[in-house]
Amino acid sequence: MIGINLLPEAYRRPERTSPKVFATALAGVILVCSSIGWFGVVYFGDLDRNQIKHQSVAETLAGVKERAKLYDDLVQERKDFSKRADTIKNIAKGRRLWVQFLDELIDVVTSGGDQDRHVAWFGSMQVRGSRDGRKGPAIQFPAHVQGNDIRKIANLHDDVEKARFFIDMEEYSPPAGAKAVDEDLYPPESFSFNWKWQMKPSSKWLKSQTSTAAKPK
């Protein structure tokens, strides 16, 4: 139904919005604002929680990276230590206890006090190592055997060949000697010779072979 207002414009009353329309619009505005507010609370709440979680994860990751770096450093240090330990072992394996060698040599030379077998002494001793390591040390010393019996030189050589250290010898000069006379000695006669020994390479020494055989396979 259409209504026509015939009153002059000054006497007309302004048209009002229908209460139903206003209530519907107001409810829509409230609903939209509530939705926006709820979304903001949810969004910013989740964002705050996610930021806190991200910070916690970042701190945990930084700690893991630091421990991983420490582990890598320890692994590298262990490798370096193993190399140094192997180097020390190789050096120890390639060394000879010369004091022990001399003690054994003196025991052979003195023959346990049996002067009838031989009486020997050395004027000096010189040891030279091999530069390339293919050969063992070369030992040279002037030796003397007291007496006028050349068989005592052979006895000295026989006793040396039975000594434990002689296993590490590769070659040495054969028994030979030149007769000498020194009135300050008794008896004055003696045989002198320049004794030369060539040792095996350190890798072929008895203790090196023993240590290698003792390693577990």
Would you state the pLDDT for residue 216? 47
The structure tokens 């180097």 sit at: 87
* pLDDT, tens only, 35-59: 776 666 666 666 667 777 778 877 8
- 3-state class (DSSP) for residue 16: coil
- Distances in Å between the Cα of 65 and the Cα atoms of 51, 70, 78, 95, 167 are 21, 9, 20, 45, 57
- Rounded distance between C-alpha atoms, residue 140 and residue 203, angstroms: 21
In this structure, are residues 187 and 116 in contact, taking their beta carbons and an 8 Å threshold? no
- Distances in Å between the Cα of 181 and the Cα atoms of 141, 145, 156 are 20, 12, 20
Would you state the pLDDT for residue 30? 76
Instruction: Answer yes or no: pTM beyond 0.75.
Output: no
Would you state the pLDDT for residue 15? 57
**Which parts of the chain register pLDDT below 50?**
212, 214, 216-217
- Distances in Å between the Cα of 117 and the Cα atoms of 109, 150, 157 are 10, 11, 11
Q: Which residue in 119, 100, 105 sits closest to 197, CA to CA?
A: 105
Average pLDDT, the chain: 76
- 3-state class (DSSP) for residue 180: strand
Any alpha helices (H) in the chain, and if so which ranges?
Answer: 19-93, 98-110, 151-162, 206-214
